[in-house]
Structure 1
Amino acid sequence: MPQKLSPISKPSELVASVQEKNLVIVDARAGAGAKDRYAARHLAGALFVDLEKQLANVPADASKGGRHPLPDLMQFAQVLTQLGIGPDTHVVVYDDKNGGNAAARFWWMLKAIGHENVQVLDGGLDAAVNAGFPVSSAEETPSIPEKTYERLRWTLPLSDINEVEKVANDVDYLVIDVRDKDRFDGKVEPIDLIAGHIPGAVNIPFTSNLDANGFYLSPAELKEKYTEALNGRDAQHVIVHCGSGVTACHTLLAMAYAEMEIPKLYVGSWSEWSRTDRPMFTLTKD
């Protein structure tokens, strides 16, 4: 295994590395019936991680942190041990939405605690199956890692609602909303209470990181795309958000794949912002 892994694993690479001793494959699909869908059909050997219960501390009131706040660090350390993940583990994580479900979120969380050997499977579940990776409906059992994570801290940059409010209209900063254009424009809102966006934010849908076949654009294409968007701004002056801090990680992953510095993640995102008295752009008022 190379010293520095690409954050993206091609399906053929996963097929080739299946016998690797320290490999742990994680299925991070989310949404209704995710665990049942995993149980019915998943990549052989893959372990399920639950966005709602293991990758977030879902609050009763989403106005305080959004719909998917980060979990307590001690809780996350326990989750990693349960999945058989330690500091020396090579993790490949996938979902059924080309990384836009929770695979990129889990990648970001591992990177944020300093775990370098983690990749997202390009194209997700179906791409691996098409490449010849076997599927299973068996109950999978994790191995106990030789070393475990105990004391953790988030080392990647984070933003919060107060900073976003302060800088959203500052030309020296860039606030990127990765939701689809109709949600950003306030035409539809399938999840949160109010349709619209944070005034001053720009819309770069995370789906634009992918080609027509659902695979990530090349690092060169992504670098050109985001270098133009940032327009000379330092990564510390860039904040990326979405609905609840999940799909925003898809864009952070894209920038890492392009060998760019990872900007700040605003985890609370629109789900938090839209439940407060902060200014909002909607179709009925600005």
Structure 2
Amino acid sequence: MPLAQLISAAQLQQRLGQPNLLILDCRAALDDLSYGQRSYVEGHIPGAQFADLERDLSGPIHKGITGRHPLPEPAQLLQRLREWGMHTHSEVVLYDDNPGAFAARAWWLLAWLGKREGVYLLDGGLKAWREASGALTTELPTPALGTFSGKPDASLLINAVQLQQRLGNSQMTLLDARGLPRFKGEVEPIDPVAGHIPGAQCAVFTDNLDSDGHFLSASQLHKRFATYLAERPVSELVAYCGSGVTACHNLFALCLAGYPLAPLYAGSWSEWITDDARPVATGD
């Protein structure tokens, strides 16, 4: 079974109410930390639980050490998943109302903990659900405690020290998921330093989608990432972004395209710049 899977709004409508189905609403806004919870309370897909980017899908920030969205403690995330009613064989559907980056972060975390089957992103997100006349509810689900257990896979991560040691390696493909102006260092609306990690290529995560917000076909995505890889081995690919969120969208798209799940630099740019000794590049 492919690691990255999509589910359409129509397919999800047919599965609503199935006992093994867990839906997670991953809506968030980086400039409004209460947006996700507020939106969820105002209306969500029936049966959906709310997964908060800051509280559930990230760990505590340590100023000057971590990035803006450090990984959550595995034990804490596992407990939260069980509270949402997750079991080993649960089918999990993830959605948000943006281009899917927050849902992709949840997908990556589940893969990191060993949940590699039966996890879907709602293609087109909440917009597609509404366009398919999908119902929304304000009713809060009360699931029974789940039994899911998992273990973090260290092979899916690369840290700042390891990445810095690999800079200059001609075989590495380093993909930055942020927009081109931020990558070039022309603007920086969030972090105190502008630019990118030397040797990186700008692979804007929204380019994984078509004009309606649905993922491109597997062949289109394969062609897209083949351009970045050139003749370099896919085993040497590393993904990052501003804080380890939108990079997960690229990792999901890579898997949709048939590539293996590459390592994530989870600290990303916001962690990289906490150490002045780490090099910074601007421009192309």
TM (norm. structure 2) is 0.92
Q: CA deviation at 1:66?
A: 1.1
Q: Could you say if the C-alpha distance between residues 236 and 107 of structure 1 is closer, same or farther in structure 2, counting changes exceeding 3 Å? A: same
Among all aligned residue pairs of Structure 1 and Structure 2, give the percentage whose two residues are the same amino acid.
38
Q: CA deviation at 1:250?
A: 0.2
Q: Confirm or deny that 1:104 pairs with 2:104.
A: yes
Which AA in structure 2 matches 1:91?
Answer: V
Q: Confirm or deny that 1:246 pairs with 2:245.
A: yes
Match of 2:87 in 1: 86
Match of 2:28 in 1: 30
**SS at 1:103 equivalent:** helix
Report the more deviating stretch, 264-273 or 26-35.
26-35
Q: CA deviation at 1:65?
A: 2.9
Asked if the contact 2:16–2:46 (Cα under 8 Å) also holds between the matched residues in 1, the reply is no
Match of 1:152 in 2: 151
Report the more deviating stretch, 195-204 or 154-163.
154-163
Q: Please give the residue correspondences for 1:39-54 in structure 2 after superposition, counting only pairs within 5 Å.
A: 39-54=41-56
Match of 2:60 in 1: 58
**Number of aligned positions between the proteins:** 278
Which AA in structure 1 matches 2:240?
Answer: H
**SS at 1:13 equivalent:** helix
TM (norm. structure 1) is 0.92
Counterparts of 2:2 and 2:210 in 1: how far apart (Å)? 25
Match of 1:174 in 2: 173
**SS at 1:135 equivalent:** coil
Which AA in structure 2 matches 1:224?
Answer: K
Q: Could you say if the C-alpha distance between residues 117 and 156 of structure 1 is closer, same or farther in structure 2, counting changes exceeding 3 Å? A: farther
Match of 1:270 in 2: 269
**SS at 1:44 equivalent:** coil
Counterparts of 1:6 and 1:202 in 2: how far apart (Å)? 23
Counterparts of 1:17 and 1:171 in 2: how far apart (Å)? 47
Q: CA deviation at 1:156?
A: 5.0
Q: Confirm or deny that 1:257 pairs with 2:259.
A: no
Provide Cα deviations, 1:69-115, integer angstroms capped at 9, x if missing partner: 11111111101111111111100000111212x11010011112221
Which AA in structure 2 matches 1:114?
Answer: G
Counterparts of 1:274 and 1:200 in 2: how far apart (Å)? 15
Provide Cα deviations, 1:237-281, integer angstroms capped at 9, x if missing partner: 111000000110000000111121111100000001122111112
Which AA in structure 1 matches 2:41?
Answer: A
Asked if the contact 1:255–1:261 (Cα under 8 Å) also holds between the matched residues in 2, the reply is yes
**SS at 1:129 equivalent:** helix
Asked if the contact 1:15–1:132 (Cα under 8 Å) also holds between the matched residues in 2, the reply is no
Asked if the contact 1:47–1:142 (Cα under 8 Å) also holds between the matched residues in 2, the reply is no
Counterparts of 1:264 and 1:177 in 2: how far apart (Å)? 13
Q: CA RMSD in A?
A: 1.8
Which AA in structure 2 matches 1:56?
Answer: S
**SS at 1:42 equivalent:** coil
Report the more deviating stretch, 171-180 or 6-15.
6-15
Counterparts of 1:128 and 1:233 in 2: how far apart (Å)? 39
Asked if the contact 1:244–1:271 (Cα under 8 Å) also holds between the matched residues in 2, the reply is yes
Residue segments in structure 2 that go unaligned for 5+ positions in a row: none
Provide Cα deviations, 1:90-145, integer angstroms capped at 9, x if missing partner: 00000111212x11010011112221211111111111121122101222222333
